[in-house]
Structure 1
Amino acid sequence: MAGRPRIYNDENIIDKAIEVFRGKCFDAASTDELLAAMGIGKGSFYLNFKGGKEELYQRSLKRFAENLNRKMEAEMERSGDAMGYIKNLFLKMANIPSAQKDRGCYYGDALVQLSAKDKANKELAVYLLKDLHRIFTSAVKSGQEQGKVAKDKDPETLGWYLINFWNGIHITKRMEKSPEILKSIIEGNFKLLE
C-alpha cells in the first residue's frame, strides 16, 4: 500500500524541473518526464504544486531568477568592475559547450513561448527580464562612475540595449557555434558602450 504523499520543501526538485523545461520547453515537457526527473510521485507532485505543471513552471522561473539574478548582483559587486563582469558574463556564452549553446535565455524563452496564450506566465517572464534590466542598468551606472562607459549616454537606455543584446546573443549562439565569431560579436557590441 502506498504511503501518504510526501511534502517536499527541497528546492532541488524545482532545479531538476528547470533542466527539463530548459531542454524541452513548457509545452513539450510532459508531467511524466517532470516527475521522473524530480524523483517524486503524482500524489506528492499535486500536493506540492496544486496548480500542476503551470505552477511548477512559474516556481521554476522564480527559482531560476533567484539563482541567476542574485548571483549576478553579488558577483558584480565583488568584482569591483560591474561592466567588466557583465562583459565577461556575455563572453562566457561564447565558450560553453556546443550542446549548451542550443539553450536560450530561460526568461526570454518563456516570454516567446507563452506570450500569446498564457498571460500570467508572460507577465512573470516580463517581470524577471525587467529585473535583469535593473541589474544591467546598475552595471552601466557603475561603469559610468568608473569612466568605462560614456557618461553622455542614458543608463536606462543602455540597460535596455544590454537586455536586447542578451536576448539576441542567446538566439545567435543557437545558430553560430564558433567561439571566435561569438566573441567578435560580443566585443563589438560592448565597444558601442564606450
Structure 2
Amino acid sequence: MARPKQFDPEVAVDQAMEVFWRKGYGATTPQDLVDALGIGKGSLYNTFGSKHALFEQALRRYRDSQTQALAEMIEAPGPVKERLRKVLTLLAEMDLADPDRRGCMAVNTAAELAGTDGTAAGIVRRTLDITEGAFRALVEEGQRRGEIAPDRDPAALGSLLLNTTIGMRLIARVAEGPDRLSRVIDATIDSL
C-alpha cells in the first residue's frame, strides 16, 4: 500500500519557485530543492517527475501570480497615468527592497534558457504577451478617457511599456538606489 504524501505539492511548487527565482534553473540542484521543500529526493521525483518539470510548474506559477497582480493594479480606479506610475513605482520599490535582487523570474529565465529550452521560452513568451496586453488595454483606456492622444498606436505603447518594465527590472538588480529608476518612470509617463 502506498504511503500518503506528507507534503502539499502546491506549497512545494511555491517553495521551488522561490529557489529557482533566487538561483536560476542551472544553479539549482536537486539537493537545493529537497532542502527547501523538506522532502526526500524520491518524493520530489515521484511527485514532479524531474527538476525540469518542477521548474516548468514554478515558472507557470510565477507567471500566473505576477500577471494577476499586475492586472489588479492596472484595473484599479483612477487616472490611467497615475495607475501606470503606481505600477512602475511599486515594481521598482519591490525590486530594490529585495535583499537577493532577484528581478523578474521570467526575464531571468529568458536570459538563461531561451535559446536552449523551448518550453521555458514559451512560458516566458506567454508571460510577456499577457503583460504587454495589459499595458495595451491600459493605453486604450487612457485614449478613451482623453488622457493619452488617440493617434498613438496602443500596441506600440504596450510594447514600449513592456520593454520599459523589463529594463527597469534588470537595472534594479544592480542599482545603488532609486534615482535612475525614478528618472525612467518620469520619462515613461511623460512620453505618453
Q: What TM-score does the superposition give when structure 1 sets the normalisation length? A: 0.87
Between the aligned partners of 2:108 and 2:135, the Cα distance in structure 1 is 19
Corresponding residue of 2:68? 70
Q: What are the equivalent positions in structure 2 for 1:8-47 lying under 5 Å apart? A: 9-47=8-46
Inter-CA distance 53–68: structure 2 relative to 1 (3 Å threshold): same
Between the aligned partners of 2:56 and 2:178, the Cα distance in structure 1 is 33
Unpaired segments ≥5 residues, structure 1: none
Instruction: Say whether the 8 Å CA contact 2:92–2:169 is kept in structure 1.
Output: no
* CA-CA distance at 1:101 after TM superposition: 7.1
Between the aligned partners of 1:102 and 1:82, the Cα distance in structure 2 is 29
- Runs (4 or more) in structure 1 with deviation over 3 Å come to 7-10, 80-83, 96-101
Between the aligned partners of 2:187 and 2:100, the Cα distance in structure 1 is 20
Inter-CA distance 160–14: structure 2 relative to 1 (3 Å threshold): same
Inter-CA distance 69–17: structure 2 relative to 1 (3 Å threshold): same
Between the aligned partners of 2:152 and 2:143, the Cα distance in structure 1 is 9
Q: What are the equivalent positions in structure 2 for 1:1-194 lying under 5 Å apart? A: 4=3, 6=5, 9-50=8-49, 52-96=50-94, 97-100=96-99, 102-193=101-192
* CA-CA distance at 1:118 after TM superposition: 1.1
Among the aligned pairs, what percent are the same residue? Answer: 27
* CA-CA distance at 1:49 after TM superposition: 0.6
Instruction: Say whether the 8 Å CA contact 1:133–1:160 is kept in structure 2.
Output: yes
* CA-CA distance at 1:56 after TM superposition: 0.9
Between the aligned partners of 2:32 and 2:80, the Cα distance in structure 1 is 39
Inter-CA distance 192–77: structure 2 relative to 1 (3 Å threshold): same
Instruction: Say whether the 8 Å CA contact 1:111–1:122 is kept in structure 2.
Output: yes
Q: What TM-score does the superposition give when structure 2 sets the normalisation length? A: 0.88
Between the aligned partners of 1:70 and 1:98, the Cα distance in structure 2 is 21
Partner secondary structure for residue 75 of structure 2? helix
Number of residue pairs aligned between Structure 1 and Structure 2: 190
Cα RMSD after superposing both structures: 2.1
Inter-CA distance 7–111: structure 2 relative to 1 (3 Å threshold): farther
Partner secondary structure for residue 11 of structure 1? helix
Partner secondary structure for residue 78 of structure 1? coil
* CA-CA distance at 1:186 after TM superposition: 1.3
Inter-CA distance 116–49: structure 2 relative to 1 (3 Å threshold): same
* CA-CA distance at 1:192 after TM superposition: 0.7
* CA-CA distance at 1:99 after TM superposition: 4.3
Unpaired segments ≥5 residues, structure 2: none
Between the aligned partners of 1:154 and 1:101, the Cα distance in structure 2 is 37
